[in-house]
Amino acid sequence: MKIVIADYPESMMKSHQLEKKVLQAGLPGCQVVVFPYQDDRRTAFLEEIHDADALLTAFIKVDEEMLRAAPQLKVVSINATGYDNVDLTAARQHGVAVCPVGEYCTEDVAEFTITTMLALVRNLKAYLSDVDHQHEWRYDYAQPNCRLSNMTLGIFGLGKIGRAVAKKAAALGMTVIANDPFISKENYAKVADRVRLTSVNDILAHADVITNHMNLNDSNHHFFTADRFQKMAKHPYFLNMARGAEVNEDDLVQALDERQIKGAALDVLATEFPDLAHNPLVGRENVLVTPHTAFYSTDSVTALQRISCQNIVDYLTGHPEKVFKLVVNPQEGGEQ
C-alpha cells in the first residue's frame, strides 16, 4: 500500500516520524511518501498520487480533478477538524472515504480564546508597545475597561470548542450568551446552567466581547459584515478562532477604523497564507493576529498526528467503525 502525506510546506509538521510510525505499525510494509505541495507543482502531485491508496492532508484542494487522477485512492484523511477543501460529492462518486479529525484541540483553542480575550481587554499589546518601543511607564496609556465579571460574552457556535469557552468564561464571572441554530438539546444541556441561547441580534446588541467558533458552511460565509459590525451596540472586542471566510475582512478593517469595535483577536485570516507585509490588520495596537496557532500544543499535535494516521489504518484494514469521524463512507453510501 502507498500513503501520501502532502500539504503546503508552511502547514506541514516539522517531523513525520510519529505519522510514519503509526502507519507502518498498522500497515506493515506500506510505502509512506511525504510530498511538499505547491500550486505550481500540482501536476507532479497528481502523478504522485496516481497509485496512492490514501492521502493525508489538510489544505490541498481535493476536487474532481484530483480524485480522477488517483483511481486507487480509498481514503482521504484530513489532519484537521474542518474539511471544506474537500468536494464531498465528488469523493462519494469516486468511492473515496473522507475522515477529518473529529476532536483533538478543544481545550487548546478554548484556552487560547480566553488568553487573547484577556490580552485585548487588559490592553496588553498597547502597554507592551509603549514600554518596548517608547520606553514609557504609563498606566493610563490605554483606555481601561470594566472587569470581566461585569462583561457579557457572546459566542457564535456552541460546538465542542464554543462550549469549552463558555465554561471557562463563566468561571471568570462573565455573563455568557450564545447563538447556534444547529445545537442539539443534548449538547445545550451540557452548558445550559452557564449559557443563555439567544438571537444573533441580541448578541450584537448586548455583548462586550464576541467570539466566533462556527463551522464554516454555505449559510455563514462572510457572516460578519459591515451590517453586523454596525449593529454591535457596545463596540465590543471581536475574536475569530474559527474560519477566516466567515468574516468580510474589508468590513472588519472598516469597523476597526471607525471604532465600531474596540479591537480584535484573529487566529485566522481570509487566506491561510496571507501577505502580512501588506495586510491592514497587522501592526495595530488593538489587534492580535496569530498564525492559526490556537490549536498548537505538544498534546494536540501528538493527538492530531496519531488520530489522522490511525483513521487511515482503520479504514484500509476494513474497520471503518473504528474511524474517529467519517463524513463520507462509501461502504454506507453517503455522508454521516
- Model confidence pLDDT, tens digit, residues 285-314: 999 999 999 999 999 999 999 999 999 999
Q: What is the mean pLDDT of residues 210-215?
A: 97
Half-sphere exposure of 298 (CA within 13 A, CB side): 0
CB 178 within 8 A of CB 206: no
The pLDDT assigned to 333 comes to 54
Under the banding of pLDDT at 50, 70 and 90, the label for residue 84 is: confident
Q: Is the pLDDT of residue 336 over 50?
A: no
Nearest to 241 by CA among 219, 215, 213: 213
Q: Is the pLDDT of residue 64 over 60?
A: yes
Residue bearing the bigger pLDDT, 156 or 80: 156
CB 230 within 8 A of CB 257: no
Q: Which residues of 142-176 are buried (b: 16+ CB within 10 A; e: fewer)?
A: beebeebeebbbbbbbbbbbbbbbbbbbbeeebbb
The catalytic residue positions are 243, 272, 292
The pLDDT assigned to 102 comes to 83
The pLDDT assigned to 32 comes to 98
- Model confidence pLDDT, tens digit, residues 20-58: 999 999 999 999 999 999 999 999 999 999 999 999 999
- Enter the DSSP assignment of 334: B
End-to-end CA distance of the chain: 26
The pLDDT assigned to 101 comes to 94
The pLDDT assigned to 13 comes to 87
CA atoms of 125 and 116, how far apart (whole Å): 10
Q: Is the pLDDT of residue 254 over 60?
A: yes
Strand stretches in the chain, DSSP E: 2-7, 31-36, 54-57, 75-78, 97-100, 152-156, 175-179, 195-197, 209-212, 237-240, 263-266, 287-289
Task: Supply the mean pLDDT for the chain.
Answer: 96
